[in-house]
Amino acid sequence: MSMKQTIEEKLGTRFEPEWLEVLDESHNHNVPPGAESHFRVTLVSDGFAEQNLLARHRAINATLADELAGQVHALAIHAYTPQEWQARNGTPESPPCLGGGKADRG
Amino acid sequence: MDVQQRIREHIASQPVVIFMKGSPDTPMCGFSARTAEALKSCGRPFAWVDVLADPEIRSELPRYADWPTFPQIYIDGELVGGCDITLQLHEQGELEKMVQQAADTAA
Domain boundaries, chain B: 3-100
User: Across-strand partners of A40?
Assistant: A23, A76
Contact B61, B20 (CB under 8 A): no
Q: Please provide the DSSP assignment of A25-87 as one string.
A: -GGGSSS-TT---EEEEEEE-GGGGG--HHHHHHHHHHHTHHHHHTT--EEEEEEE-HHHHHH
CATH of domain A3-30+37-88: 3.30.300.90
What is the SS3 assignment for B21-85?
CECCCCECCHHHHHHHHHHHCCCCCCEEEECCCCHHHHHHHHHHHCCCCCCEEEECCEEEECHHH
**B52-81 residue pLDDT tens:** 999 999 999 999 999 999 999 999 999 999
Q: What ipTM score was computed for the predicted complex, to two decimals?
A: 0.87
| Domain B3-100 in CATH 3.40.30.10 | yes
The pLDDT of residue A97 is: 85
* % chain B with pLDDT above 90: 97
B20-41 per-position pLDDT tens digit: 999 999 999 999 999 999 999 9
Q: Is the pLDDT of residue B9 over 70?
A: yes
pLDDT of residue A100: 80
Task: Tell me what pLDDT residue A99 has.
Answer: 82
Tell me the C-alpha distance between B57 and B49, whole Å: 9
- Report the distance separating Cα A93 and Cα B25, nearest Å: 22
Contacts of A58 in chain B (CB under 8 A): 66-67
Distance of residue A9 Cα from the nearest chain B Cα, in angstroms: 20
Chain A touched by B23 (CB under 8 Å): no
| Percentage of chain A modeled with pLDDT above 90 | 74
pLDDT at A29: 87
B98 touches chain A (CB under 8 A): no
Q: Residue A94: its pLDDT value, please?
A: 77
CB nearest to B22's CB, from A53, A65, A100: A100
> Judging by DSSP bridges, how do beta strands B16-20 and A19-24 pair with one another?
unpaired
The H or E element spanning position B104 is helix B94-106
Please tell me the distance from the alpha carbon of residue B24 to that of residue A46, in angstroms, as a whole number. Answer: 36
What are the tens digits of pLDDT across the range A66-96?
999 999 999 999 999 999 998 887 666 778 8
Quote the mean pLDDT of chain B.
96
d(CA B3, CA B13): 15
More confident residue, A105 or B41: B41
Could you give the C-alpha distances from A32 to A28, A37, B47, B75, in angstroms and in order?
10, 10, 33, 36
The answer to whether residue B88 scores a pLDDT higher than 80 is yes
In this prediction, residues A43-55 reach a mean pLDDT of 95
Q: Is pLDDT above 70 for A104? A: no
